[in-house]
A and B are shown apart, each in its own frame.
Chain A
Amino acid sequence: MSLPYHDPVEIFWFILGGVVLAILVATVVIVQSNRQAALEARAGAPALLPAEPEPPASSVPPAVPEPGALDVPEAPASRMARLRRRLSGSSNPLARGLLSLLSAETLDAEAWDDLEATLITSDLGVGPTTELITALRRELSIDGHADPARARTVLRRELLNLVDPTMDRRLVTEGSGGLPGVVMVVGVNGTGKTTTIGKLARVLVAEHKSVVLGAADTFRAAAADQLETWGSRVGVPTVRGPEGGDPASVAFDAVGRGIDDAVDVVVVDTAGRLHTKSGLMDELGKIKRVIERKAPVTEVLLVIDATTGQNGLTQARVFADVVNITGIVLSKLDGSAKGGIVVQVQRELGVPVKLIGLGEGVDDLAPFDASDFVDALLSEG
């Protein structure tokens, strides 16, 4: 991180700006509230008080995990074959678009526009798209004529360059010095963190690792139950705390339990939080710090929903700042969304996409493979 300021007090001027702003805004607020008070006094109506935040409801009886036979998760190898098929399914509009485009006789201006449109529509972002198109045009202009087969090869290479196959995408689940590996899963609301952890637990169990889950999402109603249900299906214990309790303490207990039981991996779920809520982001930082008193966090996974647009980059940036993410999980890739935003995220932050979620099935989680991903994008389906 390079800071443009050598003199720390330079920032003073910005704070000052903020303070000026604060005072101005405060004045407006006072005027408004006075006005409102005056109006209300005139109308004789009771003053409107800002609503107090709801106190968290008292604890809810946890769902009793059904006793009985545990599921046997699918082995990683057969899983890969199945998911690869799905990723390259014919329902892929990008693939079809590219195909029809590149099989045209010549590449005219309109075809280029369409290609650009197709790439933008996959949420790749304007920057990378322009870059890709420029590279492609330059490459093809050397030949003087546009040969679709060649365009295809070049496009594949350029796309692959963007996705960067050289990154290390292995999941670090091995702790050092006899401590368990600690995987923390973070993200904004509704991206599928808990579901991803459920699936991840199954993958780990399939690899014959012992796992403990930590339900540090104490905020959302029934999140801990959801996680426990996932865990109980494969016989993985879940450490949970009271709803509305301190998530850091739950995470601490979970890791503590993992150390006591000498398990291989502890996976900690966290509550979804928008990256704009500084209080919640601070809380996230605290969870990580507290965990690290017990054992170092080996992996921080940011879950990004494939439907997410350009905001994904901002999200990733903020999360990276707060908890130093080490990997990205791209979830819900089985829909019509292409998740192109991860290309930008990966490029800007240098954090690789490590896993992809491909559906609601319990075993629909796969390692991310750059060339598979690109091939799937370009496949003729």
Chain B
Amino acid sequence: MFDTLQDRLSAAFRNLRGKTRLSEAEIEATLREIRLALLEADVNLTVVKEFTAAVRTRAAGAEIHQALNAGQQIIKIVNEELIGILGGQARPLRFAKRPPTVIMLAGLQGSGKTTLAGKLGKWLKGQGYSPLLVAADLQRPNAVTQLQVVGERAGVHVFAPEAGNGVGDPVQVARSSILHAMSKLYDVVVVDTAGRLGVDAELMQQAADIRDAVNPTEILFVVDAMIGQDAVNTANAFAAGVGFDGVVLSKLDGDARGGAALSIARVTGKPIMFASNGEGLDDFDAFHPDRMASRILGMGDLLTLIEQAEKTFDAEESAKAAQKLIAGKGEFGLDDFLQQMQAVRRMGPLSKILGMMPGMGQMKDQIAGIDEREIDRIEAIIYSMTPAERSNPKVLDGSRRSRIAKGSGTQVSDVNALVNRFFEARKMMQSLAGGAMAGMPGARRQPPRQPAKKRKGHGVSGNPAKRGLPATPAATTAVPGAAFGVPQPSEAELAKAMGEFQLPADLQKLFNQPNKGPQ
């Protein structure tokens, strides 16, 4: 697993505590790390050079802020610069004064144009427009059929006079689509074109011909978030060949860092307008420069984590489990544990989820070594218990344990180890409930028997990113009932807090347990 920039920098700055200004050499060392991090994130080399030069200028003059250490300070600068480039000229989609508005999609093969056409169609329809999708990709076998199916799913009409598969003239199709749209009163026309390479002069000419035929209001360049160093060549080729007004970043639901976004935004100066992050027709969103910046830097992505959690978690169940855990008295049983564990697993591989947590950098080797099958075994052990045993593991005596071991195909020692660790952990978590959990105020301040009030109490500073900042004002706003009177932390603040986030000491200790070896 890749070192995050934050880890690299914190290593570089270990001896820098208390300094108020960075020396030249220290800045150079830092910039080298930044350069590597950006290159690993697929940011184009020329862009990296420009970028580090800009950071160098700013870092040299910067006073070290009291609250931030030197590394954090640099990260802050880098982050701001990134957001500056990525979100400089964000703007909404333009619509023609006289309909139809024509949106033309262009890009490499397989960048996701046809899928995007469907998403755009659905989105426009939701906005109250009546869009028409035009199948001008007559190259790839059955691209026309694909667009028809996508259109049908999106509930949007598709103009496809030619069957495609290499037959027909896309320029002609595009031209007649405008007439069709005018006569049938469609107000937005989305033209899906064939994928083409930047180096293919003939096809670029064809794209330019389509452009001239339809006179588009917006030309969107669709680019895969996974693209590497070639992003700039391709973007330049398209900018020269057809020109484009905005960029759509597709496949952002993968784990590519998406440095290409930075390269393209920088080199072409065109804004990134949309992000496409899934295969469903609704997985289509405006572009968030701040999240992208964190992602490129490889900082933990708590926002994404929370979003993902929102999709998969049964919030009520988790809350109940949290209550039980905090309440102590052994109410938190193995069944609750199992349930939460499964909820976590639904979000994806455990190693990935833990990796998304900021501050987990020092644990990355252990995290990388996690074998998901071991979790299956733990599941099997718990499944081999009766419900009574699960909710109260204290009843497990020798004979029960040997039955469970047989039932789950493990050794009695495995069962013992699991149960012992569970007790140990439960004890620790309960003591943490007054410590780490205090970061979620209310958990401590509120008697656990008042769930409704407790939730309110979480209010503002339920924000986990603030947990590691014990002396922030957020903690003081956590007076029960005050939640609604206090302004919510904005996403930008959240992202910033994320950068400064450290695991609470207790929790760090908890994670460090595996290093101590078997007991």
Chain A residues with CB under 8 Å of chain B are: 3-35, 38, 50-51, 53-54, 56-57, 60, 63, 91, 93, 117, 120-123, 125-126, 188-192, 195, 198, 219-223, 225-226, 229-230, 243, 274-278, 305-312, 314-315, 332, 334-338, 340-341, 360
**In the complex, which residues of chain A have a beta carbon less than 8 angstroms from the beta carbon of B327?**
none
Report Cα–Cα, A32/B491, bound state, in Å.
Answer: 13
| Given known A-B contacts A126-B39, A221-B150, A311-B226, A27 and B511 have beta carbons under 8 A apart | no
- Give which listed residue, B146, B425, B458, contacts A221 with CB less than 8 A: B146
Q: How far is the CB of B483 from chain A (nearest CB, A)?
A: 7
Chain B residues with CB under 8 Å of chain A are: 36, 39-42, 44-45, 108-112, 139-143, 145-150, 152-153, 163, 165, 197-199, 224, 226-231, 233-234, 237, 251, 253-257, 259-260, 279-282, 305-306, 309-311, 313, 315-319, 321-322, 325, 337, 340-341, 343-344, 348-350, 352-354, 357, 365-367, 369-371, 374-375, 377-378, 414, 417-418, 421-422, 425, 429, 440, 455-456, 458-459, 462-464, 467, 483-484, 488, 507, 510-511, 513-514, 517-518
Report whether A11 and B282 are in contact in the complex, using a CB–CB cutoff of 8 Å. no
Smallest Cβ-Cβ distance to B225: which chain A residue: A311
Report whether A226 and B513 are in contact in the complex, using a CB–CB cutoff of 8 Å. no
Smallest Cβ-Cβ distance to A191: which chain B residue: B110
Report whether A311 and B417 are in contact in the complex, using a CB–CB cutoff of 8 Å. no
- Give which listed residue, A229, A278, A334, contacts B348 with CB less than 8 A: A278
| Given known A-B contacts A122-B229, A335-B234, A7 and B417 have beta carbons under 8 A apart | yes
**In the complex, which residues of chain B have a beta carbon less than 8 angstroms from the beta carbon of A26?**
309, 313, 315, 317-319, 321-322, 343
Q: How far is the CB of B494 from chain A (nearest CB, A)?
A: 10
Smallest Cβ-Cβ distance to B277: which chain A residue: A274
Report whether A335 and B197 are in contact in the complex, using a CB–CB cutoff of 8 Å. yes
Report whether B198 and A19 are in contact in the complex, using a CB–CB cutoff of 8 Å. no
Report whether A222 and B375 are in contact in the complex, using a CB–CB cutoff of 8 Å. no
| Given known A-B contacts A28-B306, A29-B315, A337-B228, A225 and B141 have beta carbons under 8 A apart | yes
Report whether B226 and A18 are in contact in the complex, using a CB–CB cutoff of 8 Å. no
Report whether A335 and B108 are in contact in the complex, using a CB–CB cutoff of 8 Å. yes
Report Cα–Cα, A13/B366, bound state, in Å.
Answer: 11
Report whether A189 and B251 are in contact in the complex, using a CB–CB cutoff of 8 Å. yes
Smallest Cβ-Cβ distance to A93: which chain B residue: B233
**In the complex, which residues of chain B have a beta carbon less than 8 angstroms from the beta carbon of A56?**
153
Report whether B514 and A14 are in contact in the complex, using a CB–CB cutoff of 8 Å. yes
Q: How far is the CB of B517 from chain A (nearest CB, A)?
A: 8
Report whether A23 and B321 are in contact in the complex, using a CB–CB cutoff of 8 Å. yes
**In the complex, which residues of chain A have a beta carbon less than 8 angstroms from the beta carbon of B421?**
9, 12-13, 16
**In the complex, which residues of chain B have a beta carbon less than 8 angstroms from the beta carbon of A6?**
518
- Give which listed residue, A24, A29, A277, A336, contacts B197 with CB less than 8 A: A336
Closest 8 CB pairs of A and B: A309-B228, A190-B110, A26-B318, A221-B149, A309-B42, A311-B256, A337-B230, A222-B146
Q: How far is the CB of A314 from chain B (nearest CB, A)?
A: 6
**In the complex, which residues of chain A have a beta carbon less than 8 angstroms from the beta carbon of B357?**
21
| Given known A-B contacts A16-B425, A51-B282, A11 and B371 have beta carbons under 8 A apart | yes
- Give which listed residue, B111, B141, B318, B348, contacts A226 with CB less than 8 A: B141
Report Cα–Cα, A15/B417, bound state, in Å.
Answer: 14
Report whether B507 and A20 are in contact in the complex, using a CB–CB cutoff of 8 Å. yes
Report whether B237 and A336 are in contact in the complex, using a CB–CB cutoff of 8 Å. yes
Q: How far is the CB of A202 from chain B (nearest CB, A)?
A: 13
- Give which listed residue, A31, A310, A315, contacts B455 with CB less than 8 A: A31
Report whether B109 and A332 are in contact in the complex, using a CB–CB cutoff of 8 Å. yes
Report whether A63 and B375 are in contact in the complex, using a CB–CB cutoff of 8 Å. no
**In the complex, which residues of chain A have a beta carbon less than 8 angstroms from the beta carbon of B322?**
23, 26-27
| Given known A-B contacts A31-B459, A229-B165, A305 and B110 have beta carbons under 8 A apart | yes
Report whether B344 and A18 are in contact in the complex, using a CB–CB cutoff of 8 Å. yes
Report whether B230 and A123 are in contact in the complex, using a CB–CB cutoff of 8 Å. yes
Report whether A18 and B341 are in contact in the complex, using a CB–CB cutoff of 8 Å. yes
Report whether B313 and A336 are in contact in the complex, using a CB–CB cutoff of 8 Å. no
Q: How far is the CB of A66 from chain B (nearest CB, A)?
A: 9
> Most chain-A CB neighbours within 10 Å: which of B145, B350, B418?
B145
Smallest Cβ-Cβ distance to B232: which chain A residue: A121
Smallest Cβ-Cβ distance to B465: which chain A residue: A28
- Give which listed residue, A12, A28, A190, A360, contacts B139 with CB less than 8 A: A360
**In the complex, which residues of chain A have a beta carbon less than 8 angstroms from the beta carbon of B309?**
22, 25-26, 28-29
- Give which listed residue, A17, A121, A335, contacts B229 with CB less than 8 A: A121
Report whether A189 and B40 are in contact in the complex, using a CB–CB cutoff of 8 Å. no
Can you sample 22 A-B contacts with CB below 8 Å?
A4-B366, A5-B374, A7-B517, A8-B378, A26-B313, A26-B319, A32-B462, A57-B149, A121-B44, A126-B36, A188-B226, A188-B251, A192-B109, A221-B146, A223-B146, A276-B255, A277-B253, A278-B349, A309-B231, A335-B198, A336-B197, A336-B198
Report Cα–Cα, A222/B467, bound state, in Å.
Answer: 49
Report whether A12 and B378 are in contact in the complex, using a CB–CB cutoff of 8 Å. yes
Q: How far is the CB of A177 from chain B (nearest CB, A)?
A: 31
Q: How far is the CB of A274 from chain B (nearest CB, A)?
A: 4
**In the complex, which residues of chain A have a beta carbon less than 8 angstroms from the beta carbon of B233?**
93, 336-337
Report whether B429 and A20 are in contact in the complex, using a CB–CB cutoff of 8 Å. yes
**In the complex, which residues of chain B have a beta carbon less than 8 angstroms from the beta carbon of A17?**
354, 510-511
Report whether A311 and B108 are in contact in the complex, using a CB–CB cutoff of 8 Å. no
Q: How far is the CB of A298 from chain B (nearest CB, A)?
A: 26
Report whether A226 and B41 are in contact in the complex, using a CB–CB cutoff of 8 Å. no
Report whether B149 and A14 are in contact in the complex, using a CB–CB cutoff of 8 Å. no
Q: How far is the CB of B280 from chain A (nearest CB, A)?
A: 6
**In the complex, which residues of chain B have a beta carbon less than 8 angstroms from the beta carbon of A332?**
108-110, 197
Report whether A16 and B510 are in contact in the complex, using a CB–CB cutoff of 8 Å. yes
**In the complex, which residues of chain A have a beta carbon less than 8 angstroms from the beta carbon of B353?**
18, 21
Report Cα–Cα, A125/B40, bound state, in Å.
Answer: 7
**In the complex, which residues of chain A have a beta carbon less than 8 angstroms from the beta carbon of B422?**
12
Beyond contacts A29-B315, A307-B234: 6 other A-B pairs, Cβ-Cβ < 8 A, are A8-B377, A9-B421, A191-B110, A243-B149, A305-B226, A310-B40
> Most chain-A CB neighbours within 10 Å: which of B228, B311, B365, B370?
B228
Smallest Cβ-Cβ distance to B146: which chain A residue: A222
Report whether A14 and B251 are in contact in the complex, using a CB–CB cutoff of 8 Å. no
Q: How far is the CB of A225 from chain B (nearest CB, A)?
A: 4
**In the complex, which residues of chain A have a beta carbon less than 8 angstroms from the beta carbon of B41?**
310
| Given known A-B contacts A11-B371, A309-B229, A336-B198, A23 and B318 have beta carbons under 8 A apart | yes
Q: How far is the CB of B304 from chain A (nearest CB, A)?
A: 11
Report whether B199 and A335 are in contact in the complex, using a CB–CB cutoff of 8 Å. yes
Report whether B228 and A54 are in contact in the complex, using a CB–CB cutoff of 8 Å. no
Report whether B257 and A310 are in contact in the complex, using a CB–CB cutoff of 8 Å. yes
Q: How far is the CB of A327 from chain B (nearest CB, A)?
A: 20
| Given known A-B contacts A3-B369, A26-B318, A31-B455, A309 and B227 have beta carbons under 8 A apart | yes
Report whether B464 and A334 are in contact in the complex, using a CB–CB cutoff of 8 Å. no
